[in-house]
């Protein structure tokens, strides 16, 4: 039944099936590298999505460590991806994956490393098309460094690099070609399926691939990939209105501003800080200030509003975000803001953990119109932006 849908994939008459191997132990990495996030998605999620992109109807199997099968099934089954346990060596995991998709000999098996989160869609399509034609194909990138053969600490030879390439994945094979190679190779070891097929006398087509298709092996590899994936950026807005009231202090952006009237409210009624709090909560989808600090709650009676801002910042940090910018506008006929603008920016910068240059406070009047024009109250607006690396 799966094969029927795979037949939709254009020139691939025998269909396409995808195997992603993610059963390694990450010993060189120190932590589970496949779970590390790049631009908001894990390395493995990106690897599967990338190799699947040109063949959305093809059956996909992800091969993981036996201990991870249950957790990964929960993650992948709703997306139509099968998850199976791998074997002791990479080659065993690949073979188990290929057998699990039960392909007939003409099906093109596209085999990809779960640790390669970036491969362009066109590269995947090209290597699969070459395999459909020749029987076996791999993606390869040029070698740019000069390669030396060494013995202990001495160079024994400089290797001409004109005919050298770096083997990437995906590699692709007609299932029948792989099956013949497995039969001939017995229990020998090989580092990739291309090596296996080469050793058994089959041609393997070389398809030029994007050199940024790196395998995440060390922590430093992630730095190279951060240039490939955009950071996740969020913007949030907040608006707050408070009426003026006699016998109240006037707090704006955490600064007490000398004034004959203050703002009425349950807390210190610092409307700009309430707007900033709501903007941060909005950016991370965490509700609004009234939900976190109910106005009827005695704990927040006359509370200083920096408490609310700090709470929202802590939630953003816990969600993996960092503040990058904040812009506040105060709409009021009184008081004049400009004498206090720098102090307000400095206080906001301190609360948000930002340089003062990334925090803006602006003011405008309402030209005598409406409740602001009648000096009954003021409006505060805030926009914040956050990034998750």
Q: Which residues bind Mg ion (CB under 5 A)?
A: 240, 274
- The residues facing 140 across adjacent strands are 167, 208
- Burial label for 258, CB within 10 Å (0-12, 13-18, 19+), is exposed
Return the residue matching tokens 């132990």. Answer: 25
- The residues facing 239 across adjacent strands are 381
CB-nearer residue toward Mg ion: 90 or 274: 274
CB-nearer residue toward Mg ion: 123 or 240: 240
Minimum CB separation of residue 360 from Mg ion in Å reads: 20
Dist CA 169 CA 74 (whole Å): 26
The angle, 0 to 180 degrees and rounded to 10, between the axes of the packed helices 121-134 and 43-52 is 50
Minimum CB separation of residue 371 from Mg ion in Å reads: 15
Minimum CB separation of residue 276 from Mg ion in Å reads: 11
CB-nearer residue toward Mg ion: 192 or 240: 240
CB-nearer residue toward Mg ion: 225 or 269: 269
Return the residue matching tokens 């094979």. Answer: 173
- The residues facing 251 across adjacent strands are 256
Minimum CB separation of residue 43 from Mg ion in Å reads: 42
- Using the Cα atoms of residue 144, residue 145, residue 148 and residue 149 in order, give the sign of their dihedral: negative
CB-nearer residue toward Mg ion: 74 or 297: 297
Minimum CB separation of residue 66 from Mg ion in Å reads: 54
CB-nearer residue toward Mg ion: 68 or 240: 240
Residue nearest Mg ion by beta-carbon distance: 274
Q: Determine how β-strand 262-263 pairs with β-strand 232-245.
A: antiparallel
Minimum CB separation of residue 289 from Mg ion in Å reads: 7
Minimum CB separation of residue 34 from Mg ion in Å reads: 44
CB-nearer residue toward Mg ion: 290 or 373: 290
Minimum CB separation of residue 265 from Mg ion in Å reads: 6
Burial code (b: 16+ CB inside 10 Å, e: under 16) for 206-216 equals: ebebeeebbbb
Sheet strand arrangement including 322-331: 262-263, 232-245, 377-388, 322-331, 359-364
CB-nearer residue toward Mg ion: 293 or 321: 293
Q: Which tokens belong to 338?
A: 């400009």
**DSSP string across 216-237:** --SHHHHHHHHTTSPPEEEEEE
């Amino acid at each position: 039944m799966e094969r029927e849908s795979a037949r939709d994939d254009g020139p691939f008459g025998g269909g396409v099936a995808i195997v992603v191997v993610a059963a390694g132990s990450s010993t060189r990495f120190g932590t589970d590298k496949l779970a590390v996030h790049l631009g908001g998605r894990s390395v493995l999620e990106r690897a599967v999505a990338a190799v699947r992109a040109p063949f959305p109807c093809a059956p996909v199997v992800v091969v993981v460590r036996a201990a991870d099968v249950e957790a990964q099934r929960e993650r992948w089954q709703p997306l139509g991806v099968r998850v199976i346990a791998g074997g002791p060596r990479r080659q065993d995991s690949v073979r188990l994956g290929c057998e699990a998709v039960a392909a007939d000999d003409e099906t093109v098996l596209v085999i990809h490393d779960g640790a390669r989160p970036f491969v362009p869609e066109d590269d995947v399509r090209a290597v699969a098309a070459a395999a459909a034609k020749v029987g076996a194909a791999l993606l390869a990138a040029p070698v740019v460094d000069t390669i030396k053969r060494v013995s202990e600490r001495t160079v024994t030879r400089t290797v001409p690099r004109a005919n050298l390439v770096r083997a990437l994945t995906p590699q692709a094979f007609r299932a029948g070609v792989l099956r013949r190679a497995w039969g001939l190779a017995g229990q020998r070891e090989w580092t990739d399926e291309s090596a296996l097929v080469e050793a058994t006398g089959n041609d393997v087509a070389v398809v030029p691939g994007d050199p940024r298709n790196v395998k995440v092996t060390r922590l430093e590899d992630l730095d190279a990939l951060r240039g490939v994936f955009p950071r996740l950026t969020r913007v949030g807005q907040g608006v707050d209105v408070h009426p003026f009231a006699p016998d109240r202090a006037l707090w704006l952006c955490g600064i007490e501003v000398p004034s004959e009237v203050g703002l009425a409210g349950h807390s210190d009624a610092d409307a700009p800080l309430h707007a900033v709090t709501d903007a941060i909560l909005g950016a991370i989808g965490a509700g609004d200030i009234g939900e976190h600090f109910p106005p009827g709650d005695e704990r927040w009676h006359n509370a200083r509003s920096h408490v609310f801002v700090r709470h929202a910042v802590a939630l953003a940090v816990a969600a993996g975000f960092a503040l990058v910018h904040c812009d506040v506008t105060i709409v009021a006929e009184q008081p004049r803001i400009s004498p206090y603008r720098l102090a307000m920016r400095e206080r906001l910068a301190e609360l948000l953990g930002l340089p003062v240059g990334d925090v803006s406070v602006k003011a405008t009047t309402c030209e005598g119109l409406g409740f602001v024009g009648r000096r009954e109250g003021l409006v505060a607006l805030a926009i914040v932006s956050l990034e998750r690396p």
